[in-house]
Structure 1
Amino acid sequence: MEATKSSNETTIHIPESKSARSKAAAAPPPPPSGGWKRGVAIFDFILRLCGITAALAATTTMGTTDQTLPFFTQFFQFQASYDDLPAFSFFVVGNAIASGYLILSLPFSIVGIVRPHAVGVRLLLLILDTVMVALTMASAAAAAAIVYLAHNGNSNTNWVAICQQFNDFCQRVSGAVVASFIAAVIFMFLVVFSAVALRN
């Protein structure tokens, strides 16, 4: 401790103690700016746009699919339509719900970009994305089983393959099923990104 005198005042210099220095060194760093979380949120938004494209493509392709064969008799007309099979109807409803959900989730994804540390929005998206994974995967799997039978039939149950006659119908429903599986995979990635963004 040093004391200096001047003509008008006295100043006392007290050296900084070691404990004060250690406390200053142990002070927590300032909160992060959220750069990597904002990057995850931006990628989440882009994936949602891709998911909308895939789910809408699956819905519209399946929902507009029917084919009538050019030859028919007075009493029989050979026609195949998606609503002839409950699995295809479930497919259309499931993918339509997924498309609507993805469109409605875009504002919440934007909130995640603006506020990357917001936990409530990210947790809500994580829960709903998980539900959509189950829905899209179930509808795609149900339709895929019917598409497989349409292509290959089943000799044990005397189910005849129809794709040799209804070629356009089978191509369209196959494309719709592929698009739905792509949407399901996108939902899986969305779940993973939401879980990563919730890390502290």
Structure 2
Amino acid sequence: MFAAQILFRTAASGTALAAACVIFNAKQTVDVMGMSFDAKYTYSPAFKFFAFANAIACGFTFLSLVMVMLFSRHGFTASVYFMFFLHDLLMMSLVLSGVVAGTVIGAVGRDGNSKTGWLKVCNRFEKYCRQVSTSLILSYVAMICLLVLTITSAAKFRN
């Protein structure tokens, strides 16, 4: 159980950090008919939320990793498992809400929306869209790791 906690907390923190780094550095400039257009994550409130949700989750999950190592010396009690359960549930919810927001805006960027007049942008900003997709995939991995941690913490608290 201790090894699984270390593994999943390290994976969740690492993939959330990677997702945040990729989206923070996602940008591309293209020229269309002599005019220059930029794509950056800061242009979308949903992508900003996605980026900061991953950064926050990375930091707090890393702190929980340190706490797991500290508590391992003194033993885990039911209240400690409950604390980790609440932490993991909160971090999973934060990452899930961020990745859903990013996925929705990414889908609009990829497909557009003809009913509202929103144009596709991924046919012009391929590099930027690949970076966003990579970041979303990494964030989904972090969310799954946090889900596993939430389930295992709940199960251990219940026992």
The bucket for the TM-score relative to the shorter chain is over 0.9
Residue of structure 2 equivalent to 1:190? 149
Residue of structure 2 equivalent to 1:66? 27
Question: What does 1:20-59 correspond to in 2, within 5 Å?
Answer: 40-59=1-20
SS at match of 1:78: strand
Query: Which structure has the highest helix share of the two?
Result: 2
Which of residues 57, 60, 79 is equivalent to 1:120? 79
1:41 and 1:193 map into 2 onto residues whose CA distance is: 11
Report the alpha carbon displacement of residue 109 of structure 1 after superposing the two structures with TM. 1.2
How many equivalent residue pairs? Answer: 159
- Bigger radius of gyration: 1
TM-score by structure 1 length?
Answer: 0.75
Report the alpha carbon displacement of residue 71 of structure 1 after superposing the two structures with TM. 4.8
* Contact residue 112 and residue 122 of structure 1 kept, 8 A: no
Report the alpha carbon displacement of residue 117 of structure 1 after superposing the two structures with TM. 3.8
1:157 and 1:176 map into 2 onto residues whose CA distance is: 27
SS at match of 1:134: helix
For structure 1, list consecutive stretches of 5 or more residues without a partner in the other structure.
Answer: 1-39
Question: What does 1:65-84 correspond to in 2, within 5 Å?
Answer: 65-71=26-32, 73=34, 76-84=35-43
* Contact residue 163 and residue 170 of structure 1 kept, 8 A: yes
SS at match of 1:80: strand
CA pair 80-185 structure 1, distance change in 2 beyond 3 A: same
Aligned-residue sequence identity (percent) comes to 29
AA of the residue aligned to 1:60: C
Question: What does 1:1-200 correspond to in 2, within 5 Å?
Answer: 40-71=1-32, 73=34, 76-200=35-159
SS at match of 2:141: helix
2:71 and 2:7 map into 1 onto residues whose CA distance is: 13
1:188 and 1:114 map into 2 onto residues whose CA distance is: 25
Report the alpha carbon displacement of residue 165 of structure 1 after superposing the two structures with TM. 0.7
